[in-house]
Structures are given as C-alpha cells and as structure tokens.
Homo-oligomer: A and B are copies of this chain.
Amino acid sequence: MPLASGAPSPPSEMPARPYRMIHFFPPQIEKVRAKIPELIPKVDILLGNLEDAIPASDKEAARKGLIEVALNNDFGDTSLWTRINSLDSPWVLDDLLTIIPQAGDKLDVVMVPKVEGPWDIHYIDRLLAQLEAKYGIKKSLQVHAILETALGVSNVEEICAASPRMQGISLGPADLAASRRMKTTRVGGGHPSYQVIADPDAENPEAPRVSAQQDPWHYTLARMVDACNSAGILPFYGPFGAIDDPVAGEYQFRAAFLMGCVGTWTLHPSQIDIAKRAFSPTAEEVKTAKRIIEAMGDGTGTVMLDGRMQDDATFKQAQVMVQTAKVIAQRDSEYAELYGF
C-alpha cells in the first residue's frame, strides 16, 4: 500500500484479462451461428448484435439466434456480450425481456448504444436489477456504453460514473459523425479534408506546400480515455469501417492502443488478427519495460538506461506495459512465447 511503503504501483484497475477485440456477429444468420464454436477461442469477446446492421425484419430472429448461441456453446474464458437496440427504439424492451430471462446467466455485458447521459445508464441499471432478481440471474450483468452523440461526449464523465455496473465505453464514430453533422460517410479513421498546410515558401510562394493530415477523433478519444480511467472502467476504440483497407485499420487501432484503449471492435474476421497485433505490445516494448523494472529495484530513485533517465514514474509506465503483456500471455500461447513469459 502506497501509504505504508511509498513504492510506486501501477493503476489499481489494470484489467485481469485481455480485451483486445469485441467481435460482432449477426445472430439471426444460421451460417454465422454455425461458426461460433471455432470463433470462440480466437477472440477475447464475442458480441451478438441486435441493433444497427440487423434489419428491422430480423430483430426477433436475432434475439432468438443469440439465445441459441448462448445456450448451445461453452465460452470458456471468452466473454459473451450483446448489443441491444437504442433506448428510444421500439425494440429495446423486448430485447431485454427476451434475452435476460433466457440467456442472462451466459451473458457478461450488455452494450447500450447512443447513450446521452447518466439517465440512460440509470434506466438500464434498474431494469437489469429487476430482471436479475425476478429471473434469479446469478451474476450482476455489466453495462458498456457507446459514445455516439454530441451530448454523450459532453456528458461522458457522468456516464462513466453513473453505475457500478459500468464496464467500459466504446467510441461510435459513425453515429457520432452524424450527430455532429461531420461531413463524412466514413466509419472511423482519418479524412483527407482534415489537413494543416505549411506556410508558403517566402522565396518561392507558388511552390507546392506540404500538408499534414490530422486526427479528427483526438479530442473525443482522449477525453473518453480520461473519463473511463477516472471512473475505473475500460476505454475501447469502436468500428473501423474500411474493411478493405487493413493498413489504415492497423494504424487506427495502434493509435488507440497508444492513447490508452484496451481494445477495439472487429466487424469482419479479417480484422481479428489486426486487432490482436495492434492491441498487444511488441516484444521489443515488453523487453524494454522489463529492463526498466529490473533496473529500478524498489521503484524509487533514478537510473540511466540507454541514455534516458528512468524514475518512479517511468517504472509505473513499464509496469503497465508488462502487466498488459502478462494477461495477454496467459490467454494467448502465441504471445506468451513472443514475450517469453
């Protein structure tokens, strides 16, 4: 305990398992359901989607499919989540009144879209409490919110702190763009319209000028990460829509990992391995972090390593890196080998 020893320790809420990707599937499609058993060991989280991308005419089938998936599979260490329809939709009450009684014991987290303020969490919190009590659900279901309206961003700190059920938040860049009237039809990532151009060359004002593309999501993601950590919950990137551009996807995911996210959504099986790479530290990073920890002894004071000063604070940064690697290694033998744990 800090008060007793003074030794620096990593943030207490370091997650105990990896959350690198939330893999979405449409549960109304039989072919998809058939492949669930082989997907389970490949992903950290499996999410049965009931909301956007599920046609209005398939909402009922999706609920049924999800219950079938939940009851007929053993998920082992993999989490099963669901995304319900938005709280102002005509479907959400049936989503909950159908899914929780029949499959509540197999679910870990309910993802709630278009959350705008703590009131939305209060609603879902109490409804889950009543359903858990009525149907004897043995675990307390957690809640994950998607940040996809301007008002949600303005209220993100209050949303994160609205209930002890809160597990985390994902960025929802497509709905958020529409809510802000951003002029884009892309889902996440950069946009060529957002650039900063260099000054003209005074000597040669007509010469072509360099411009640097900017990250349109920086403010949103950075504030979301702080809001989550302030409340002790986990921040996730969301969807990256350009499935045909895995390079840009990996850039985006890696940036989110650097900024503090623990994972992302994967909308297509091809994104699973990209997410795995992007949300796991490199072997190099883990090695450096281990060296810092070893060199720092009790974690106080300073040492020089490769010409850079390490102290109590970098010791903590190194612990974040190593601990992240450790929980990945426990779940994923490939990474265990890579890190040498």
Contact = CB atoms under 8 A, between A and B. Distances in A.
Contact of A179 (B6, B229, B289, B308): B229
A336 interface: no
Interface in A7-46: 7-8, 10-11, 14
Nearest to A281: B183
Given A10-B178, A52-B312, A88-B3, A301 B243 contact: no
Interface stretch (A64-72, A102-110, A192-200): A192-200
A298 B292 CA distance: 57
A309 B181 CA distance: 20
A60 interface: no
A175 B311 CA distance: 10
A97 to B, nearest CB: 8
Interface residues of A, number: 132
A129 interface: yes
B4 A300 contact: no
A171 interface: no
Given A6-B85, A308-B243, A316-B178, A193 B255 contact: yes
Given A54-B301, A196-B251, A258-B184, A178 B213 contact: no
Interface in A39-91: 51-56, 58-59, 85-91
A275 interface: no
Given A93-B130, A182-B258, A197 B150 contact: no
Given A56-B7, A179-B229, A214-B214, A193 B258 contact: yes
Which of the listed residues A7, A58, A183, A190 has the most CB atoms from chain B within 10 Å of its own CB? A183
A97 B150 CA distance: 33
Nearest to A306: B244
Given A92-B130, A123-B126, A131-B93, A219 B212 contact: no
Nearest to A53: B311
B2 A89 contact: yes
Nearest to A228: B150
A213 B225 contact: no
Given A53-B302, A181-B229, A174 B130 contact: no
A195 to B, nearest CB: 6
Interface in A102-160: 118-120, 122-123, 126-127, 129-131, 133-134, 148-151, 153-154, 157
Interface of A: 2-8, 10-11, 14, 51-56, 58-59, 85-94, 97, 118-120, 122-123, 126-127, 129-131, 133-134, 148-151, 153-154, 157, 172, 174-175, 177-185, 187, 189-200, 209-216, 218-220, 222-223, 225-230, 241-245, 247-248, 251, 254-255, 257-260, 262, 267-268, 281, 285, 288-289, 292, 298, 300-302, 307-309, 311-314, 316-321, 324
Given A214-B255, A219-B219, 10 more contacts: A4-B90, A4-B133, A54-B301, A87-B126, A174-B313, A174-B316, A187-B314, A196-B215, A211-B251, A212-B214
10 contacts: A2-B89, A2-B90, A3-B129, A6-B59, A123-B127, A127-B127, A150-B227, A182-B320, A197-B248, A200-B245
Q: Which 6 A-B pairs have the closest CB atoms?
A: A55-B301, A150-B229, A174-B313, A219-B222, A52-B312, A178-B316
